[in-house]
Structure 1
């Protein structure tokens, strides 16, 4: 492989940035041996953090901006350079597919290579690079930054590993690539898209509970509306973290440019303890804590008794009121009938006289 191509493929597994905010530039390459209508033969998608900045495919044969702020700020020279790299990799992957199919003694059919590489930049200016690839959904090679050597995932990858390990000069230039083009492109994108990429949105947290099996109770802490994506959510019992006892559904997009997550934990409600949901996010000056208040079982009973008493009082009042009401149609007719009979009797008596 040519030196220039190898420089973009070298890297190391990305490191977690602790509480310092991590910004990343990621290049995701995919090539398939049998393309379809919606699956191009080769595609490259470049991310800065969670935003797609540009896309190159074998169909368009050009690198095209995917955000307004990239289109408005990068000039023709940048897009020509990205197009050139895309076309070079497209040719290289074509050769790689043939090489790997022979290496694994495979016949013609559907095969896929996926590669992810790039650089990370933390707010404390620590820089890291990363690289990982796979063939037909299985790990193939990764790069060990400590030993400056490649790590093969299986016997088939050993051949490529030995060849690439021998190219010591190429591997040493990884540091210059990370501190040069990759970080430069990342910094530019962070400035161009700072209103999106560098914004901070506070999370909101809500706790709830539901009955579970064997008399247990499941506590849920839903945290939503936060950006950036990285967040720490834990349940505390009497102020101590219960991380090993919790389950998380992962961090998911909310659909409005922010993220959400939910963390649950099962407890025995008979054991008296104070439970709270603890949230740490870079938008918060101090951690957010939301306590869970257990339901008092007497409340629904007392509420039911009060409701029954009030209802009984209403019924009794209505009955008494109806008995005392003089304007009922039936009662008025009876009184009038009695009065008519009395008048008739008086008339008869008068005639008798």
Structure 2
């Protein structure tokens, strides 16, 4: 029979107890032992509640079939891969580049041997690279590969605990798609490579991404810092500037952004790298 598709949830019912009068096996089956129960009064030989625990609930097992399409340079090279998984373990797959089913475990060997002898089934699977993958590529390309969402960039300062008079400038880049992005820190027009750290690229769950890139600094009045962002959705780099002010003005600004910084608390479990940085570190590039 041909291989099924999709996901299925299989239930295995518990083994029934044997009819009365037949041997019922060793203890632990969950079946009452005839003639060995006890009534509340303690009379032996009268059927009563079983001394064994009740049988476990019916087992649940998950069987999955995942169909994948892999593209290189658009549709120049298309690969169809169908994977068969039982309880999270792949046991069989079909690869269009080979054109045959291959067993990944002993469980998949009988199916692979049988299905590879079915010319009609093999022809159907081999055609899936064109019929399924190439067709859907053209249908979904405008909503996936061609999708572009420009980032929103915000720069704000916060205190750094690593050195007495140092601060962090935080460049918050949010709401962009796709995820590949390049972010640089500039001081008075010169790229900064030391003291630059970042969070991981985070998915927002709505097909957009966000990231924080921080620069440790000891600002002097008049210094101008720039967070420069390059993204495929932008025709030109997007730059947001921050100018160092007097201590009193900077203190007021830090107080004003305190509420915004509270939004970073959710990033704490991710952990932040060492803020000391390393000389010669390149600009942050995420693909």
The interval holding the TM-score normalised by the smaller chain is: 0.3 to 0.5
In the superposition, the TM-score normalised over structure 1's length comes to 0.40
In the superposition, the TM-score normalised over structure 2's length comes to 0.47
